[in-house]
Amino acid sequence: MAQVEMVGIAKHFGGVKALRNVSFAAEAGEIHALMGENGAGKSTLMKTLSGAYLRDAGEIKLKGQVTDIQSPRQALDMGVTVIYQELVIAPHLSVAENIFIDHLSTGGFFVKRSHIEAEARKVLAEIGFTDIDVSRPAGELSIAYQQVVEICKALTRNSSVLVLDEPTAVLTSHETEKLFELLFQLRDKGVCIIYVSHRLEEIFHICTRATILKDGETVGTVNIADITQHDLINMMVGRELSDLFPDRSVEIGAPVLEVEGLNAGVMVQDVGFTLYAGEVLGFAGLVGAGRTETMRAIFGADARESGRIVLKGREISPSSPKEAIRDGIGLLPEDRKAQGVLLEMSVRVNGALRPDSPYESKVGLIDRAAEGRGIQALVEQLAVKTASIESNVGDLSGGNQQKVALMKWVDMGSDVLIVDEPTRGVDVGAKIEIYNVINDLAAKGVGVIVVSSEMTELIGVCDRVLVMREGHIAGELTGDDIREDKMIALAMGLN
């Protein structure tokens, strides 16, 4: 009997049918992948399971029992815990207090600190994380450990169903391995784990079965052992996908960006490299290796201590993003929602979000009609799927949000464009379109830097890859040497 069974689930928001008729079942003691492009309905489905959304139709059964989940509280009481991408820890409370957040005062009115700390230590020891200090504020932990705290919360509630939404998006590969070990442990204890992810490698590594959603409907459930990555992608996008990475013929030109002896705090130490016109240069490394910090220092978003930056033969020293943009450098930030786009504002406003609007007249008025045409042209050029340019960016899928964030950089025509994790949380279809944008820019002679934690992506799109480790550039890979094993070796310092 399935631990979780969802039959004929439907849910609409206004006129949009997010889920039409989804059925899904997962067993106790399995790790079941839930896959699909962004907007396919994965998160909505899990939110109907967790009680965050009320379903319009359909049945949810837990262990064969029909249940009527009406609120997150009810779902928790029935043993369903969902760990969202955006963690919900209370940063100023201690680890122990976070773990027992919803039953802090079990014994009476007062919180017994020593008691919950002892209990928290016990739970952590059970899953092998004895190095977490339970009295520390949870906000001081790394994201990976915050996730462990979330999982502990679920354990103390004796959850029989654990849903993880893109848990590894923010983890280093070492942390990811530790998380997987923990998941295997829980699986062996009979917990039903539903794993929502885009990352094929991970799914093939840890999951037994996968259910694929597309456009709010179930495409099917497959045994991972019986299917190839290629076929799985085809099920997700519903079309033949000959190659995830578009071919590109490269014509590498003169140096556009030369960086020498760049220092900025502990994360950026003596970094130097040269980027050529038309080149796509990858930056690999573990999370925390200093890649993002290097880029922010070059872009003027963080202060530099020393170093020379030469752009097209001219030395520059941007002290703010504004100056960097004026000099000809663009940066697509790593965290789309927090740094890349204005979610509550329109595609129009986001597309024109730049220091100097080209649609501004001499008296300072914006020509809205001309701007509308310009933005519409960009929407078509980048194949942004939006109802209109007046739609809020928050209503678009992750991939389309990312394309909106790219719009202004494409329009501004910088000499150098840095894209930091350009396809994080983006579905396969939109990924290809983003790679196409990168290739088009490079073909026009722009030097593109791609910072990514997805090694397949770096292999697929880059002409050359620099690997960073602990604030230094650990090595350079070109041609056939751009391989996962070499990147990992350099990133971890195993030479």
Partner 1 sequence: MENKTLGQKASYIFFEYNALVMLVVLVVASSFLSEAFLSTQNITNLLRQLIPLLLVSIGMLLVILTGGIDLAVGSVAAVGGVVLVMVMNGNADGGAFWLILSVLAAAGGGALLGAVTGAFVAFFRMAPFVASLALMTIARGIAYIISNGQPQRFDREQEAALILRTFGSKSAPIIDLAWPIVFGALVIAFFYVLMRYTAYGRLTVATGSNETAIRLAGIPVARYKLLAYAACGALSAIAGVVVASRSGVATPASGVALELDAIAACVIGGALLSGGKGTVVNTVIGVLVLGLIGNIMNLLSVPAYPQQVIKGAIIILAVLLQGVGRKDARV
199-207, 241-249, 341-349, 481-489 -> range binding partner 1 (CB under 8 A): 341-349
Task: In whole angstroms, give the CA distance from residue 366 to residue 446.
Answer: 28
Question: Is residue 13 at the binding interface for partner 1, with CB under 8 A as the rule?
Answer: yes
Question: Is residue 297 at the binding interface for partner 1, with CB under 8 A as the rule?
Answer: no
Q: Which of 341, 378, 396, 410 binds partner 1 (CB under 8 A)?
A: 341
Provide, rounded to whole angstroms, the least separation between the CB of residue 176 and partner 1: 27
Provide, rounded to whole angstroms, the least separation between the CB of residue 366 and partner 1: 5
- Closest to partner 1 by CB, 11 vs 153, is 11
Question: Is residue 325 at the binding interface for partner 1, with CB under 8 A as the rule?
Answer: yes
Provide, rounded to whole angstroms, the least separation between the CB of residue 336 and partner 1: 9
H/E element, 490: helix 484-492
Radius of gyration of the chain (CA): 24
Burial of 148 (0-12, 13-18, 19+ CB in 10 A): buried
Q: Which of 349, 379, 442, 468 binds partner 1 (CB under 8 A)?
A: 349
Provide, rounded to whole angstroms, the least separation between the CB of residue 322 and partner 1: 4
- Closest to partner 1 by CB, 50 vs 176, is 50
Among positions 20-49, residues that touch partner 1 (CB under 8 A) are 47
Task: In whole angstroms, give the CA distance from residue 444 to residue 447.
Answer: 9
For 480, the 3-state DSSP assignment is: helix
What are the residues whose beta carbons fall under 8 Å from the beta carbon of 178, sequence distance 6 or more?
A: 144
Please name the amino acid found at residue 192: C
Question: Is residue 338 at the binding interface for partner 1, with CB under 8 A as the rule?
Answer: yes
Task: In whole angstroms, give the CA distance from residue 304 to residue 270.
Answer: 11
DSSP secondary structure string for all residues of 178-243? HHHHHHHHHHHTT-EEEEE-S-HHHHHHH-SEEEEEETTEEEEEEEGGG--HHHHHHHHHSS--S-
Q: Which of 78, 252, 301, 310 binds partner 1 (CB under 8 A)?
A: 301
Question: Is residue 342 at the binding interface for partner 1, with CB under 8 A as the rule?
Answer: yes
207 with 195: CB under 8 angstroms? Answer: yes
Question: Is residue 365 at the binding interface for partner 1, with CB under 8 A as the rule?
Answer: yes
Report H helices in 67-220: 72-77, 95-99, 113-126, 143-156, 173-188, 200-206
Provide, rounded to whole angstroms, the least separation between the CB of residue 173 and partner 1: 27
- Closest to partner 1 by CB, 181 vs 335, is 335
Please name the amino acid found at residue 159: S
- Closest to partner 1 by CB, 43 vs 218, is 43
- Closest to partner 1 by CB, 451 vs 482, is 451
How many CB atoms neighbour CB 110 within 10 A? 8
What are the residues whose beta carbons fall under 8 Å from the beta carbon of 490, sequence distance 6 or more?
A: 284, 467, 469, 474, 475, 477
How many CB atoms neighbour CB 108 within 10 A? 7
Provide, rounded to whole angstroms, the least separation between the CB of residue 252 and partner 1: 28
For 346, the 3-state DSSP assignment is: strand
- Closest to partner 1 by CB, 333 vs 475, is 333
What is the residue whose two structure tokens read 């509630």? 157
How many positions of this chain bind partner 1 (CB under 8 A)? Answer: 36
Task: In whole angstroms, give the CA distance from residue 71 to residue 60.
Answer: 13
13-21, 152-160, 173-181, 460-468 -> range binding partner 1 (CB under 8 A): 13-21
- Closest to partner 1 by CB, 408 vs 464, is 408
Task: In whole angstroms, give the CA distance from residue 251 to residue 248.
Answer: 9
Among positions 136-175, residues that touch partner 1 (CB under 8 A) are none
81-89, 130-138, 188-196, 318-326 -> range binding partner 1 (CB under 8 A): 318-326
Among positions 393-422, residues that touch partner 1 (CB under 8 A) are 408
Burial of 476 (0-12, 13-18, 19+ CB in 10 A): middle
Q: Which of 189, 230, 322, 483 binds partner 1 (CB under 8 A)?
A: 322
Question: Is residue 372 at the binding interface for partner 1, with CB under 8 A as the rule?
Answer: no
- Closest to partner 1 by CB, 278 vs 333, is 333
- Closest to partner 1 by CB, 154 vs 393, is 393
Task: In whole angstroms, give the CA distance from residue 319 to residue 312.
Answer: 18
Question: Is residue 488 at the binding interface for partner 1, with CB under 8 A as the rule?
Answer: no
- Closest to partner 1 by CB, 128 vs 355, is 355
Question: Is residue 135 at the binding interface for partner 1, with CB under 8 A as the rule?
Answer: no
Q: Mark residues 45-74: x for contact with partner 1 by CB under 8 A, - for none.
A: --x----xx---------------------
- Structure-block tokens of residue 421: 């994790």
- Closest to partner 1 by CB, 132 vs 341, is 341
Q: Which residues bind partner 1 (CB under 8 A)?
A: 13-15, 47, 52-53, 299, 301, 320-322, 324-326, 331, 333, 338-345, 349, 352-355, 357, 360, 364-366, 368, 408
